[in-house]
Amino acid sequence: MQGDCPHWGKNEIAREILAYLADHPDAGDTLEGIMQWWLMQRRIQNQIVLVEKALNELVSDGYVKKNTNTNLEARYSIKKT
C-alpha cells in the first residue's frame, strides 16, 4: 500500500539522510531534491563497489571480457566463445 514502509526502511532512510548531512552540514533541499540528489547519489556510490566486484568475478570466471581504452576506462562485454 502506498505510504506503508517497513520500520527498517524508514530507519535506513533516516540514517542515509543523517549521513549525507554529516558529510554536507550546510546542505538543504526539497523532498524531491533529497530523493534525487542525496539518497539516490549515496545509493549509487555504494553500489559501484558491489558492481565492480561482481564484474571482476564474471571476468575471472570467463563469462565477461574486460577491455581498457586509451583513457584507461574499462569496458565490459559478453565473452564469446
Q: Retrieve residue 25's grid coordinates.
A: 552540514
pLDDT tens-place string over residues 16-63 = 999 999 999 999 999 999 999 999 988 898 899 899 999 999 999 999
For the chain, what are the domain ranges? 7-78
Please tell me whether the overall predicted TM-score, pTM, comes out greater than 0.85 for this model: no
Higher-confidence position of 68 and 9: 68
Residue at grid coordinates 586509451: 70
Higher-confidence position of 58 and 1: 58
Beta strands in the chain (DSSP E): 64-68, 74-78
Q: Which are the contacts of 58, defined by CB distance < 8 A and separation ≥ 6?
A: 64, 76
Distance CA 11, CA 32 (A): 19
Residue at grid coordinates 570467463: 62
